[in-house]
Amino acid sequence: MDNSWTQDNLESLQSHILSEEQKHPGATGEFTWIVSAISLATKAIGNKVRCARIQDVIGDVGSINVQGESQQKLDIIANTIIMHCLGNRDNVGVLASEENETPVLLRSRAEGGRYAVLFDPLDGSSNLDVSVGVGTIFSVLRLEDGGSREEAILQPGFKQVAAGYVLYGSSTVLVLTTGNGVDMFVLDQAIGSFVLVSKKLKIPSGNKTYSTNEAYTEKYSEEIRNYLSWAHKNGYSSRYIGSMVADVHRVLLKGGVFLYPTTTDNPEGKLRLMYEANPMAMIIEQAGGKGVCCGERILDVVPSGLHQRTSVILGSTDQVDAILEHTK
Ligand code: AHM
Ligand code: MG
């Protein structure tokens, strides 16, 4: 299939993953179970997002999560749905959520828990009241022997066995990589399945568009300010939704660069390494792009904490390099 989908070559997410798994000798098919749980959970979350205003689940609950941010009702609903769907899968040992202070240990390696799934249940949820696209981001790690459950999953991003996101936008889109390119699926509401629409996505180069919260310019480093003023003089355009999944999805399909640098308010950066930066960096790299933070490859960062924050620059290689030129 060549980036085109018709009713004649309809392929569901599950059948695609199964057929990909069969290409690997010794594959057990168990990864398919994880993906099917993510598929089920995100269909349920997507439904809640679309009915949020009607079901009166817009707004915050008055509590602050581990990130110090106010929790939306839908953050909690999405978190519960994912915990429930993935928790039922025999091979999932640990679940770690951006919304929970500590990871949940479901079963040990000896009990069959071979994978950890880390996720941001509803990224960009502060945009829900204005119906902007929001998303779920996930990262899958193979569980390593380690002391505590937290130590076992504190792995650098290059060890992820899969990563993806679901964007609840004008359509519900699932983007997935298992380390062999990036595939995109769209939820066909009529049949209730994610169907394959694009295989082996590649980020277009040459798109002079940056995506950042430009109101923070005075709080950015001198290097980033220099890049922005260079971009202003060199024919760049800007697009910023303020919902990482939607912004990165646009970059994946159209090119350009997304950056959330360190600021004087957030000297480590705002976005989370394990739940946001790593999965997005794996997708972007698998699509031929580049993901860096403070000059280092995001996927090489050895995490020191589950909720660690980082700066993020993600995009086509040429556009990321254009920023790095200003940081030398
Ligand atoms: P969240 O995980 O609490 O929703 O926060 C992450 C979001 C990203 O989706 C987005 O890129 C960023 O925060 C926007 O931040 P800002 O409002 O500072 O521009
Ligand atoms: Mg988030």
Percent of the chain with pLDDT over 70: 96
Q: Which residue, 292, 284, 278, is CA-closest to 325?
A: 292
The set of residues, in sequence order, having a beta carbon less than 8 Å from that of 182 and lying 6+ positions away, is: 175, 176, 200, 201, 252, 283, 286, 287
Which residue has better confidence, 27 or 186?
Answer: 186
Give the mean pLDDT of 79-83.
97
Measured from the Cα of 275, ligand 1's closest atom is 2
Amino acid identity for residue 78 in this structure: A
pLDDT band for position 2 (cuts 50, 70, 90) = very low
Q: Please check the confidence at residue 100 and state whether its pLDDT lies above 70.
A: yes
- The answer to whether residue 145 scores a pLDDT higher than 90 is no
Tens of pLDDT along 243-272? 999 999 999 999 999 999 999 999 999 999
Ligand 1 binding pocket includes 21 (Cβ within 6 Å)? no
- Cα atoms in the 13 Å half-sphere on the side-chain side of 50: 13
Q: Which atom of ligand 1 is nearest to the CA of 134?
A: 9
Distance of CA 244 from the midpoint of ligand 1 (Å): 6
Is it the case that residue 120 has pLDDT exceeding 70? yes
Helix 278-286 vs helix 244-254: angle between axes, to the nearest 10 degrees?
Answer: 10
What is the per-residue burial (b if ≥16 Cβ within 10 Å, else e) of 111-127?
A: eebbbbbbbbbbbbbbb
- Ligand 1 pocket check: which of 45, 76, 123, 272 to mutate, most ligand atoms within 8 Å of Cβ? 123
- Is residue 187 within 8 A of residue 172, CB to CB? The reply is yes
Question: Which ligand sits closest to the CA of 241?
Answer: 1
Crossing angle of helices 317-324 and 222-233, in 10° steps, is 120
**CA of residue 125 to ligand 1 center, whole Å:** 8
Strands in 143-281 per DSSP E: 162-168, 172-177, 182-188, 193-198, 209-211, 237-238, 257-260, 271-272
Burial of 267 (0-12, 13-18, 19+ CB in 10 A): exposed
So what's the pLDDT on residue 7?
61
Confidence tier at 147 by pLDDT (50, 70, 90): low
How far is the centre of ligand 1, averaged over its atoms, from the C-alpha of 243 (Å)?
A: 6
pLDDT in tens, 53-64: 888 888 888 777
What does the alpha-carbon distance between residue 200 and residue 211 come to, in Å, rounded to a whole number? 24
Ligand 1 pocket residue status of 120, Cβ below 6 Å: yes
> Which of 89-98, 142-151, 180-189, 195-204 comes out lowest in average pLDDT?
142-151
Q: Higher-confidence residue: 16 or 56?
A: 16
Is residue 125 in contact with ligand 1, taking CB distance under 6 Å? yes
The tens digit of pLDDT for each residue in 214-234 reads 999 999 999 999 999 999 999
Domains and CATH numbers, the chain: 7-198 (3.30.540.10), 209-324 (3.40.190.80)
Whether the CB of 75 sits within 6 Å of ligand 1: no
- Please give the average per-residue pLDDT across 80-102, as a whole number: 94
pTM listed for this prediction = 0.94
For helices 13-22 and 30-50, the axis angle rounded to 10 degrees is: 160
User: Above 50 in pLDDT, residue 3?
Assistant: no
Which alpha helices (DSSP H) does the chain contain, by range? 13-22, 30-50, 73-87, 149-153, 222-233, 244-254, 278-286, 317-324
Query: In whole angstroms, what separates CA 246 from the centre of its chain?
Result: 10
pLDDT, position 277? 98
Contact predicate 234/248, CB 8 Å? no
Token digits of residue 198: 């694009």
**Ligand 1 midpoint to CA 106 (Å):** 29
More confident residue, 38 or 22: 38
pLDDT 10s digits, 27-46? 777 788 899 999 999 999 99
Q: Are 245 and 278 spatial neighbours (Cβ–Cβ below 8 Å)?
A: no
Q: 69: Cβ below 6 Å to ligand 1?
A: yes
**305-323, pLDDT tens digit by residue?**
999 999 999 999 999 999 9
Span from the CA of 136 to the centroid of ligand 2 (angstroms): 8
Is there an atom of ligand 1 within 6 Å of 242 CB?
A: yes
